[in-house]
Structure 1
């Protein structure tokens, strides 16, 4: 079975943990006997990235911090959660339109009830928009990444889910992927191409591997993808302005591709 491959390199979009506004404060050890001052840079929910006064950064597990510091981090993350659930029902994400300029995109994102920004304006100017905004779909958090034309017009938006360890690929991430299949089918009908849940050995090279492709009424594309980077896995949804042609699939009904693929030998991925 041929899959949709080489959608975009994860090296271009992976930024590690959730980026947040740097804030200097005092931190204490779990037993409260030691303290130090550092800037809070980011957190993935299980550890924090801190910058010391000498500008060196350190990663500290939340369990090694005092309970008051852990509460502070949880409250900070809670304040930066997306305010409402996003829906993946249109040609592009939320109110964004292909061809929008960067300023228009940022204005729309700032005004959206389903999007939150996790970095201050000064740092956004230095890093661009990728990974700065996040949203929630069906209870799962996704960060937004963008691709632009040579004229700085929007041509792609990718919702990248949280990375998870390999043990979660066959469990939680599979359920997340199945939920997105159901949501996208409900909104956009049957895909023009569909394969089963990719085995982990197919996810190599830091690329997103597409399993499902939809064409919208206006000639755009939506792809459901999985990916792997540095031993961790993720699920992503890619909105693209162009009409991506499907690869040739074996004669397997779209509704039964996942079950049927278990008994078939997978062919080598082919690029679009």
Structure 2
């Protein structure tokens, strides 16, 4: 599979298309696309395209058949959990969500799954409990969270399984590349993009970022870290204001 298709393959596997995927046409029938109905208001309809992207179009710009189809739909044909949140930074999680809201969203997620029992959650909280349903670059990724003093979400860390540093490149570079593609699909072109960090440049327990994206309410960073004799790739979604820095050669 070509690299630029990896992110779309991942998204399509964790966000399966509705059984109501249909062909839509504009008013004069000169253009068409495939997608499924999400919601509508008095003037517009929101559609999820076959590639997973969600957009809104004026109902009057659609063909007669499509306008009739929209007229038959109701606002509650999709569960709230299926509605994409425009402020989401990863999956459907948003900065500022309460701990209870994050827990609710995680339980409804199609991208993530609970990896341990509820008893473990009671002892440790949410950190390390949820992981991606689909492996990324052959590795499972777990989620970790940080909260404000008011108990609202301020940071999400997506961490791969730790691997021995002597297989750092072989085991982690593919995951790093796939995560870069995924984040670019979700958040657009990064404002800064560097090379895969060299293992000899990693310091223990220090995160070395290679990429930076602007996201709703903050930033996303992709990079790597070393913990003792093991290494991992990490994505950090944070509310901290981070500006691009000049990268070395």
TM-score bracket relative to the smaller structure? 0.5 to 0.7
1:202 is matched with 201
CA contact (8 A) 2:98 2:151 kept: yes
* TM-score, L = length of structure 1: 0.56
Cα distance in 2 for partners of 1:231, 1:207 equals 14
- Change in Cα spacing, 1:158 to 1:197, as seen in structure 2 (3 Å) is same
What CA distance in whole angstroms lies between the structure 2 residues aligned with 1:184 and 1:195? 14
Distance 1:230 1:86, change over 3 A: farther
Summarize the Cα distance change of 1:91–1:245 in structure 2 as closer, same or farther, 3 Å threshold. farther
**Aligned-partner Cα distance in 2 for 1:162–1:244:** 26
Question: Any conservation in 2 of the 1:91–1:239 contact (CA below 8 Å)?
Answer: no
What is aligned with 1:102? 99
Alignment partner, residue 181 of structure 1: 180
Distance (Å, rounded) in 1 between the aligned partners of 2:162 and 2:225: 9
Checking the alignment, whether the CA contact within 8 Å between 2:218 and 2:238 is kept in structure 1 is yes
RMSD after superposition: 2.4
TM-fit CA distance, 1:205: 2.4
> Does the 8 Å contact 1:92/1:157 carry over to 2?
no
1:85 matched residue in structure 2: 14
Aligned pair count? 167
More relative contact order, 1 or 2 (CA 8 Å, 6+ apart): 1
CA displacement, residues 108-142 of structure 1 (integer Å, 9 cap, x when unaligned): 11111222112222331121110011113545311
* 3-state SS in 1 of match to 2:163: coil
Cα 1:170–1:120 change in 2 (3 A) is closer
Distance 1:117 1:186 in 2: 25
Match of 1:221 in 2: 219
Q: Which runs of 5+ in 2 are unaligned?
A: 1-12, 17-51, 54-86
With structure 2 as the length reference, what TM-score do the two structures score? 0.60
- Alignment pair present for 1:232 and 2:230: yes
* Counterpart residue number, 2:160: 161
> What's the CA shift string for 1:50-106, capped at 9, x where partnerless?
xxxxxxxxxxxxxxxxxxxxxxxxxxxxxxxxxx53799974221111111111111
Distance 2:153 2:117 in 1: 22
**1:23 corresponding residue in structure 2:** none
Gaps in structure 1 of 5+ consecutive residues: 1-83, 251-263, 265-272
